[in-house]
Structure 1
Amino acid sequence: MLELHFSIENESELVNAFRLRDQKKLMLPQGLPYPFSVRSYFTWQDPNGIYTYLVFKMPNWDMPRGVTLKRTTTNGEPTGGICNWCHAYGSSDEIGMLSLNLNADTSVGYQICQDLRCIEKIEEASARAGKSPEKPIDQLYQRMARLFENMKQAKAD
């Protein structure tokens, strides 16, 4: 199984993992102990729950990369959904549309876990089923990597 581990040495390294357009919306979590180690990926939400931040690093990447995802609110009745990354099922409070601005003209949406606890959900579901989480976790990493590749391929502002 592909085990992903990386470390963030200081606040500057964490901020610089994000694109300039995302740094403008960045609200770092309070009290992070630098340096810190990350297993798989690091995520947190802003205090208002509007933005979810993701820092991720594949083994072939020089540095970790970060992205700011914006929660899309719905005014309708709560519904159920399936996360496109980990295939967990949950209510619209748990699974929903998180959008990403690729540039000034283009944004994309992902129907995923609002809190990005995908790896934990995969591990829990695999343990309940008595199966190895290896393949679903590798697929999760590939889906996350594609998000960052899409960002890289989009024309800059």
Structure 2
Amino acid sequence: MQTQLNNFVKENSFAIESEAELIQAFRPRDQKKLVLPEKLKFPLNVRSYFTWKEPSGVYTYLIFKMPNWDLPRGVAFKRSASTGEPVGGLCSWCHAYGTSDEIGMLSVSMSSNVSSSYLICHDLSCIEKIEDNAAMSGKEPDKYIAELYYRMEKLFENISGYKPE
């Protein structure tokens, strides 16, 4: 269910009924590297999107669903190893600023030879950061949440529409 205010999407909620449904949300290439969180209970009621890291911290997983999609979709991001001193960065999804320990390159495998990289928050806590920043500045977060959803939707369009040459 979604609610609207000023023509912006405020919140998008959905449910995942079983572990099998959660796994099916991912592409076959991502299912191979999927490590589910321990003690996950179903049905899983999701507000906006669901994310978790596997224990080593190499992979971060994202489950997302737009209202016009039949089913939720998932993607496995691989964290690029950072070298050298921590530096600052700006998340391209929520525009939060942080060190390279917080914001960095996460890549999505398109094929065995091609990947797409995104400079985003490592923990994908973008919606929380948008809400916190809006509350501190006295602004409504709706417009920024709608922009976040749009960027996430484009990510899934990019990976589902990729055609190797």
TM-score (norm 2): 0.93
Query: Which residue of structure 2 lines up, in the alignment, with residue 14 of structure 1?
Result: 22
Secondary structure of the equivalent of 2:158?
helix
Query: Which residue of structure 1 lines up, in the alignment, with residue 71 of structure 2?
Result: 63
1:25-64 alignment, distance < 5 Å = 25-64=33-72
Q: As a proportion of its length, which structure holds more strand?
A: 2
Offset of residue 36 of structure 1:
1.6
Offset of residue 156 of structure 1:
6.2
Offset of residue 128 of structure 1:
0.2
1:7-156 alignment, distance < 5 Å = 7-155=15-163
Query: Matched residues in 2 for 1:36 and 1:114: separation?
Result: 22
CA RMSD of aligned residues (A): 1.1
Query: Matched residues in 2 for 1:57 and 1:144: separation?
Result: 9
Q: Deviations over 1:37-75 (max 9, x none)?
A: 100000000000000000000001000000000000121
Offset of residue 35 of structure 1:
0.5
Offset of residue 104 of structure 1:
1.9
Gaps of 5+ in 1: none
TM-score (norm 1): 0.97
Question: How many residue pairs get matched?
Answer: 157
Secondary structure of the equivalent of 1:4?
strand
Secondary structure of the equivalent of 2:37?
coil
Overall identity of the aligned pairs, in %: 59
Secondary structure of the equivalent of 2:139?
coil
Q: Deviations over 1:58-104 (max 9, x none)?
A: 00100000000000012111000000000000000000000011112
Query: Matched residues in 2 for 1:111 and 1:75: separation?
Result: 15
Offset of residue 105 of structure 1:
2.6
Query: Matched residues in 1 for 2:163 and 2:113: separation?
Result: 9
